Amino acid sequence: MLYGLKIAFRYLTANKTQTGLLIAGVAVGVFVFIFMSALIGGLAVFLVQRTVGDIAHVTIEAPSRDPVSLMPEGVEALVVEQRATNQRQQLRTADAFLPLIDAMPGVAVTSQQIVGNGFLVRGVVTAPVSVTGVETDKVSAIANIEKALKSGSTDLSNSTVILGSKLADDLGVGVGQVVRLQSDQGVERAVVISGIFELGVEALDARSAIVSLATARTLFNLPQGISRVEIKLADLNQAPAMAERIAAETGLKATPWTEGNAQLLDGLRAQASSGNLIKAFALITIIIGVASALLLSTYRRRPEIGIMRAMGASRGFVIFVFVLQGALIGVFGGLIGAGLGYASLLPFPVPELAPPGGLPVDVRQGAYGLAIALTAIGAVLASILPARAAARVDPVSVIGQ
């Protein structure tokens, strides 16, 4: 009803300071809501990116027979590689299933790998390494070696190696120098260092040696087959579903990244629930603020309400006027809060590109529509109590005064 809207609007504009403060309060609540959404969402993107950025989303291996018994106690980062060097679990039939996986929607890239353990020897200095053999055009397919390169290049030939920076430092070697690579199968090759990278992940920077698939075949006496296939997906959140699908379609063991990162996921969930709690409190604050302000206004306007009723305004009309005030406050406060939220989040880089130490807020995850909608609904709910109080005003009780 147009006339109810006019009256509601007039009531709100009649006391501009009070209405202004009320809307500002609602806007602050909405701002908190949006900022929390952006921060929690951004943190999740940031942390997942940090964790998953340089590892495979899904890893395919041969179904293992008894992997636990093969794992030596007390060896940390080498555990995974140790298992693979036993050579008992190689994928012999990669050619058969790889085209199938490559064709699956959602698969961004696949990388065939041969992994194993060995030593890097320069003169009298020896360092344990985990060797990864990759297709020469897919050096940067899983971890972005290209981007992490400190010196040299990522070109691989059959006699070159790319090393982690910590490993190179330990051995005191640089690009262009020759080192000897010794596998745990007793094979030894002289290789030239073609590149040195620093991913910022200790385990990789201190242990990793990347060679071509061909080199790895020689080192580990593996004329055919591979150890594993690592896969990057277009959407890393699809990893569990994709892993299940790949396992079902190929009969191989497919492990999503989430399996080894349960703690991260638990942390993210806890973070999301604490964020939701803060958002709920922001909403409750809005509702209480609107309800108390409108209740006060109802009380102040008792005589007018009585007179409107005497002039033929129905109870429903009075309720409508007050609920509409709540709705207007909610919508305006919501829009202003959302606008401010967006404007203040916009200068932040998206969390994927957030500099270390920066606040990883995600302007895309502000949940603006939700914030406005919940605020409007909350404000309407908040106005029901005052509106009903207003509708109960008895004209007789006010016109005598």
Partner 1 sequence: MTALVEVRNLVKTYGEGEAETRVLKGLDLDLETGELAALLGPSGSGKSTLLTILGTLMRPTSGSHRMLGEDLTTASDRDLTEFRNRHIGFVFQFHHLLPDFTALENVIFPAAVEAGRETREARERGRELLVRVGLEHRMDYLATKLSGGQKQRVAIARALMNQPELVLADEPTGNLDRESAMQVMDLIGEINGREKTTFLISTHDEKIAEICRRQICVVDGRAEMGRERA
What span, in angstroms and rounded, lies between the C-alpha atoms of 286 and 300?
21
What span, in angstroms and rounded, lies between the C-alpha atoms of 132 and 204?
11
Q: Considering only the stretches 51-59, 119-127, 253-261, 308-316, report the one whose residues sit in contact with partner 1 under the rule CB under 8 A.
A: 308-316
Is residue 308 within the footprint of partner 1 (CB under 8 A)? Answer: yes
Closest to partner 1 by CB, 174 vs 395, is 395
Sign of CA dihedral 78, 83, 85, 91: negative
Is residue 18 within the footprint of partner 1 (CB under 8 A)? Answer: no
Rg (CA), the chain: 32
Q: Which of 81, 61, 80, 83 is nearest to 70 (CA)?
A: 83
Among 89, 309, 380, 390, binds partner 1 (CB under 8 A): 309
Among 70, 78, 278, 307, binds partner 1 (CB under 8 A): 307
Q: In the structure encoding, which two tokens stand for residue 122, read together? A: 């320069």
Neighbouring C-alpha atoms within 13 Å toward the C-beta of 195: 21
Is residue 3 within the footprint of partner 1 (CB under 8 A)? Answer: yes
Is residue 35 within the footprint of partner 1 (CB under 8 A)? Answer: no
Q: What are the residues facing 191 on neighbouring strands?
A: 179
Backbone angles phi, psi at 151, to 5 degrees: -155, 165
CB-based contacts of 367, cutoff 8 Å, min separation 6 = 33, 34, 37, 38, 41
Residue 398 C-beta: closest distance to partner 1, Å: 8
Query: What is the pattern of x (binds partner 1, CB under 8 A) and - over residues 81-110?
Result: ------------------------------
Angle between helix 262-300 and helix 16-52 axes, rounded to 10 deg: 180
Among 93, 136, 304, 381, binds partner 1 (CB under 8 A): 304
Number of H helices and E strands in the chain, helices first, is 14, 10
Q: Considering only the stretches 52-60, 168-176, 286-294, 314-322, report the one whose residues sit in contact with partner 1 under the rule CB under 8 A.
A: 314-322
Closest to partner 1 by CB, 364 vs 392, is 392
Q: What are the residues facing 121 on neighbouring strands?
A: 126, 180
Q: Which of residues 380-399 bind partner 1 (CB under 8 A)?
A: 395-396, 398-399
Residue 6 C-beta: closest distance to partner 1, Å: 7
DSSP 322-370: HHHHHHHHHHHHHHHHHHHHHHHHTTSPPGGGPPTTS----GGG--HHH
Measured from the Cβ of residue 290, the count of other Cβ atoms closer than 10 Å reads: 29
3-class DSSP assignment, residue 10: helix
Is residue 303 within the footprint of partner 1 (CB under 8 A)? Answer: yes
Is residue 178 within the footprint of partner 1 (CB under 8 A)? Answer: no
Size of the site for partner 1 (CB under 8 A): 27
Residue 394 C-beta: closest distance to partner 1, Å: 8
Residue 7 C-beta: closest distance to partner 1, Å: 8
Closest to partner 1 by CB, 12 vs 243, is 12
Closest to partner 1 by CB, 162 vs 389, is 389
Among 69, 224, 263, 401, binds partner 1 (CB under 8 A): 401
Structural contact between residues 111 and 139, judged by C-beta atoms closer than 8 angstroms: no
What span, in angstroms and rounded, lies between the C-alpha atoms of 382 and 50?
42
Q: In the structure encoding, which two tokens stand for residue 338, read together? A: 């959302």
Is residue 6 within the footprint of partner 1 (CB under 8 A)? Answer: yes
Among 311, 346, 347, 355, binds partner 1 (CB under 8 A): 311
Q: Considering only the stretches 138-146, 221-229, 240-248, 310-318, report the one whose residues sit in contact with partner 1 under the rule CB under 8 A.
A: 310-318
Among 284, 288, 310, 343, binds partner 1 (CB under 8 A): 310
Is residue 346 within the footprint of partner 1 (CB under 8 A)? Answer: no
Is residue 364 within the footprint of partner 1 (CB under 8 A)? Answer: no
**Residue 71 carries which DSSP code?**
P
Residue 290 C-beta: closest distance to partner 1, Å: 20
**Residue 77 carries which DSSP code?**
T
Q: Which of 374, 327, 356, 330 is nearest to 37 (CA)?
A: 374
Is residue 296 within the footprint of partner 1 (CB under 8 A)? Answer: no
Is residue 281 within the footprint of partner 1 (CB under 8 A)? Answer: no
Binding site for partner 1 (CB under 8 A): 1-4, 6, 10-11, 14, 303-304, 306-315, 317, 395-396, 398-401
